[in-house]
Amino acid sequence: MTDGPCPWLFPGRGNKAKSRELFGDQVSKHVFKATGLHVNLHLFRHVAAKLYLDRNPGGYEVCRRILGHRSVETTTRFYAGTETAAASRHFDDEILKLRRSLRKASEEEG
């Protein structure tokens, strides 16, 4: 930790940013300790994108920005289809909401 305000999200020593290597090692060790899985920082990025897309099917533009891809086509090429099950659940939920609202409106009329 730093002694005072710091401009870095992941501060290192001496009011400097933590090095990418040190940060990657720390993330890998923490994930292994918590899960028993060996995950490097690059894989961690992919997992984060997958988790985001599972909750936000089709949210490629957000992932593009976070991952630093120049074009959304790159992001789409890597992740299209990975969120198919989540997209299906989302679609089903929306259809069920619509059906409930239509049923409620019909009951209120009749």
What ranges do the domains of the chain cover? Answer: 40-109
Mean pLDDT value of segment 96-101:
94
Distance CA(82)–CA(55), nearest Å, equals: 12
- Span 24-80, pLDDT tens digits: 999 999 999 999 999 998 898 899 999 999 889 899 999 999 999 999 999 999 888
pLDDT band at residue 1, thresholds of 50, 70 and 90? low
Q: Give residue 13's pLDDT band: very low, low, confident or very high (50, 70, 90).
A: confident
Q: Identify the pLDDT of residue 3.
A: 67
Indicate whether 12 pLDDT > 80.
yes
Give the count of beta carbons closer than 10 Å to the beta carbon of residue 69.
Answer: 18
C-alpha distance from residue 33 to each of 10, 49, 80 (Å) = 20, 22, 31
The two three-digit tokens of residue 75, written as one number: 């992001």
Average pLDDT over residues 75-103: 89
- pLDDT score of 2 more than 70: no
For the cut 90, the answer to whether the pLDDT of residue 92 exceeds it is: yes
CA distance 104 to 79: 38
